[in-house]
Amino acid sequence: MTVEAISEITSRALYLIIQAALPILLVSLSIGLIVSIFQTVTSIQEQTLTFIPKILGIFLTLMLLGSWILNIIIEFMTELWMNIPNYVKS
C-alpha cells in the first residue's frame, strides 16, 4: 500500500467525519447561541438552561438526518472493505 493511498483514505475519512458531525454540531451551536442571547436579554444566569434545548435539538437532528449520516458511513466502509484486496496487493 502506497503512501498516496493511505493519504487519500485518511483525507476521505476525515472529510467524512466532518460531514457526519457538522449538522449535529451546528444545531448544538445555534441553540446554545440563541439561549445565551435569551439569557443576556432577560438577565437569567442559570447555567443549566441550555441542556434541555440542546438535547432536544440534537435528538431531532439525529431523527431527521440519522439515516443519511449512517448511509454515508456505510458507503465509505463498504468501499474500504471491497478494496482490501487492492490495498494488500499493492
Q: Is the pLDDT of residue 90 over 70?
A: no
The DSSP line for 6-68 is HHHHHHHHHHHHHHHHHHHHHHHHHHHHHHHHHHHHHT---GGGGHHHHHHHHHHHHHHHHHH
CA distance 35 to 29: 10
Rounded CA separation 88/55 (Å): 43
Residue 7: is its pLDDT beyond 80? yes
Do residues 58 and 24 lie in contact, with contact meaning Cβ atoms separated by under 8 Å?
A: yes
pTM: 0.80
Residue 38 has which C-alpha cell?
A: 435569551
pLDDT of 11 over the 90 cut: yes
Render pLDDT for 13-40 as a digit per residue (tens, 0 to 9). Answer: 999 999 999 999 999 999 999 999 998 8
Per-residue pLDDT reduced to its tens digit, 44-82: 888 888 899 999 999 999 999 999 999 999 999 999 999
